[in-house]
Amino acid sequence: MIPRSGDRDFDLALAHTLAAVSEKLEALPSFAYYDDYDGANAYATPKVRMNNADGTVLFGQRLLSRLMSGTESPEVAVAAVCAHEFGHILQFKRGLDRVVGVGQPTVKRVELQADFFAGYFAGARKLERPNFPAAVFAMTQHSFGDNMVNHPGHHGTSEERGAAIAKGFEAAYREKCTLAQAIQISTNYVAGL
Ligand SMILES: [Zn+2]
């Protein structure tokens, strides 16, 4: 586990954003980078690796450099992936991953609910900061869509991932849903996919 990215300003800005994600999603995992030598990735685990009780989010250094080389608000793209992973931490805390994933041949519903929660954060953030570029959340997750629809690791197509972000965004930004309401709406939403 690697505590810092090497860019102090970036680390400070991301720490602020992650504190806001923790507050909106009521999930407080430890966060660190790791060496994703076997393929650019980020993941969430309920395992407590440091001192925060809600598990751990690990962000690959390769994925970080890939997102940072993008032109459109790269730090917001990093935040989008983090918010998705914090969404998984929320699922682990509330047992939602079991509820939405039960009997499913792929992890799609679990992943799209995490995208919904990332979108929910983006909507809540935009209410507080009208300049927040929430569309970057949808573009980022859209870019990670896959078409391996029968593979157990299928996360959702690009269209499904972008749509899940948009649904979560609307729940916060337009409907002003509480987190409890967003959990209910997202559970119903992914059950219909
Ligand atoms: Zn995920």
The total of structural domains in the chain comes to 1
In Å, how far are 45, 66, 135, 155, 186 from 106, measured between CA atoms? 18, 26, 27, 8, 17
Q: Would residue 14 count as lying in a domain? A: yes
The SS3 assignment for 79 reads helix
pLDDT of residue 16: 94
Residue 102's pLDDT is 95
The alpha carbon of 162 and the centre of ligand 1 are apart by a number of angstroms equal to: 14
Task: Say how many Å lie between the CA of residue 192 and the centre of ligand 1.
Answer: 19
Distance 113 CA to ligand 1 centre (A): 9
74 assigned to some structural domain = yes
Expressed in angstroms and rounded, the spacing between residue 88 Cα and the centre of ligand 1 is 7
User: What domain range includes position 57?
Assistant: 8-191
Report how far ligand 1's centroid is from the alpha carbon of 41 (Å).
Answer: 10
H or E stretch covering 58: strand 56-60
pLDDT of 71 above 80: no
Pairing label, strands 56-60, 42-45: antiparallel
Centre of ligand 1 to C-alpha 58, Å, is: 12
pLDDT number for residue 62? 96
Distance 112 CA to ligand 1 centre (A): 8
Is residue 43 assigned to a domain?
yes
Is residue 60 a contact partner of residue 42, using CB atoms and an 8 Å limit? Answer: yes
Classify residue 104: in a domain, yes or no. yes
Which tokens sit at 107?
A: 């992890």
Residue 1 belongs to some domain of the structure: no
- Residue 193: the pLDDT is 92
Q: For 12-49, how does the pLDDT look when each residue is reduced to its tens digit (9 = 90+)?
A: 999 999 999 999 999 999 999 999 999 999 999 999 88
Query: How confident is the model over 93-133, as pLDDT tens digits?
Result: 999 999 999 999 999 999 999 999 999 999 999 999 999 99
